Every structure is written in structure tokens, then in C-alpha cells.
Amino acid sequence: MSRLDKDPSIVEWSSEEHVIPYRSPIDNRMHRYFVDFYIKKKMPDGKTKSALIEIKPKAQTRPPAVINKPNKRYINEVMTWGVNEAKWKAATSFCKDRGWDFEILTEDHLGLKF
């Protein structure tokens, strides 16, 4: 967050203020997705561009590898992937309707090493 405060091109930002409805593939019910960040950035041409940003561990940004004997951990990873994918599809549509971008950032984008 301090990166956002220090970046002179960031006009405004907020955390978990945009709520997007999505249907969970786990229970087929509607839920609310609180996206991590909203940013509005001033571009070099003077125009502004808005985006919603989600921060996730890289391991959660792709489906889990299929295994022969599913265990609890694998089932949890599959369920997490399904919910995340539903959230991200809803966020992509939400942003497209507004002319915004939707981005998922991982530790690689943030320069973190674990």
C-alpha cells in the first residue's frame, strides 16, 4: 500500500471497497467478492485508467494438477480454484462494463521471494 501512496501517477486508490456478486460453483449460491484494490492511474497522455487488482499466491492462480487419489488437500485446492475462477470471471465482466482493467498480481509481480 505504501507503493500506491508513493507513486505520483496514482490519482486515487482504495482497498476492498468494490463488491462484485458472483455465483459459487460449490453451492450454486450468490456471494460477494471484495476485490483487494481499486486504483486510478494517470497515464502519460494525461488520461486516467482504472483497474481492480487482486493479490494472490501464484499457486492459487492456476488449476491444481490432477492426481490419481484425491485427498483432502487436493479437494480443497480444486474448490478454491473453482471459487477463484468464478470470482475472476465476475470481476472481468464488471470491469469490462466500466472500461476498467482487472489484474491478478502474485509474489512475482510484487518482487517477493518465499
Q: Where are the domains of the chain?
A: 2-110
CB atoms within 10 A of CB 93: 12
The DSSP secondary structure of 73-106, one letter per residue, reads HHHHHHHHHHHHHHHHHHHHHHHHHHT-EEEEE-
Alpha carbon distance 114, 98 (integer Å): 35
CA distance 52 to 95: 7
pLDDT value of residue 113: 56
**Mean pLDDT of the chain, nearest integer:** 92
Q: pLDDT tens across 24-74, in order?
A: 999 999 999 999 999 999 999 999 999 999 999 888 889 998 888 889 999
Helix (H) or strand (E) holding 29: none
